Structure formats: structure tokens, C-alpha cells
């Protein structure tokens, strides 16, 4: 099955019961875990941002558990931003001023790899050509 990208806000919301998107994020993550949703790519920038955010807001144990879950999960792949992605990230970051640098790196990775879909609650991605944001636990390949 083809892969989709995961944004930091989905990963964090799944870990934080207080997040407004918690239930939806858990549906997305558990759907990926069970193989009901496509396998997910987590770029290294997103993983670093998520683990740091979880550690700062939810505690070091949550950050560590999250790191282990996604690096050991069968349906999650951690991928590195390449030098080419980094250069494209710089261009996208300047082109779409509403995107953070990490968000621009997701768009750059998607362009290089041909990944079309991204699970995210951030509607800033809606402006990015060639990237379709999925704010719910849906399988875009069905």
C-alpha cells in the first residue's frame, strides 16, 4: 500500500489527552498501526519536533515512549531529509510564508518522493500544490 506523511500535530495530539484533536489523532495512529490506513512516513525533522514537544509539555517518559513507538512500529518509517530536500525546503519556506520550516520540509520531501497525502490538522498545507491534507482517519487510496 502507498505511504502518507505524518505531521507533528497529529503525533502530538495522539499523545496528549488534552489536545482538541486527540480522538481523531488516535484514530489515525491506531488505523496505521492496524494496517487499516496506509503506512506512514515520519521525516526526521517531524520526529525531532514531536519528541521535543512531548518531552517539554507531557514529560520525558512520554517523549521516550513516542520515540520508541514510531521507530519500532511496523507501519511507520522514519526517513531523513536529504540535502536536496533541504534546498527545496528553503525554497518552499520562502514561497509559503504561512509554513514553518518543518512544514516546508514535509512539502519538500513529498515533492521528491511523490507522496501526495499528509495527515495533518494544519490547514496551512492546503495552499501547497501537489499535497493533499487529510484531517481525519481516512484511507485516500480506497
Question: If you write DSSP's letter for every residue of 95-138 in order, what string do you get?
Answer: H-TTS-HHHHHHHHHHHHHT--EEE-S-GGGGGSTT-EEE-SS-
Residue-wise pLDDT for 26-68, tens only, equals 999 999 999 999 999 999 999 999 999 999 999 999 999 999 9
The pLDDT > 90 percentage for the chain reads: 94
Assess whether pLDDT exceeds 90 at residue 12: yes
Q: What pLDDT does 1 receive?
A: 59
Q: For residue range 69-83, what is the model confidence (pLDDT) as tens digits? A: 899 888 999 999 999
Q: Which CATH class is domain 4-126?
A: alpha beta
Within 8 A by CB and 6+ apart from 33, the residues are: 73, 74, 75
Q: Is the pLDDT of residue 107 over 80?
A: yes
What does the radius of gyration of the chain's CA atoms come to, in whole angstroms?
14
Where do the domains of the chain lie?
4-126
Amino acid at each position: 500500500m502507498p505511504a502518507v506523511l505524518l505531521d507533528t500535530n497529529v503525533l502530538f495530539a495522539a499523545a496528549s489527552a488534552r489536545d482538541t484533536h486527540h480522538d481523531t489523532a488516535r484514530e489515525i495512529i491506531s488505523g496505521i498501526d492496524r494496517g487499516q490506513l496506509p503506512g506512514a512516513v515520519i521525516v526526521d525533522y517531524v520526529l525531532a519536533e514531536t519528541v521535543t514537544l512531548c518531552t517539554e509539555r507531557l514529560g520525558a517518559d512520554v517523549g521516550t515512549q513516542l520515540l520508541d513507538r514510531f521507530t519500532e512500529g511496523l507501519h511507520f518509517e522514519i526517513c531523513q531529509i536529504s540535502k536536496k530536500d533541504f534546498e527545496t525546503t528553503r525554497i518552499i519556506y520562502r514561497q509559503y510564508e504561512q509554513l514553518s520550516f518543518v512544514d516546508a520540509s514535509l512539502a519538500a520531501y513529498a515533492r521528491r518522493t511523490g507522496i501526495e497525502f499528509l495527515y495533518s490538522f494544519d490547514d496551512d498545507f492546503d495552499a501547497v500544490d501537489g499535497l493533499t491534507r487529510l484531517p481525519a482517519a481516512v484511507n485516500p487510496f480506497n
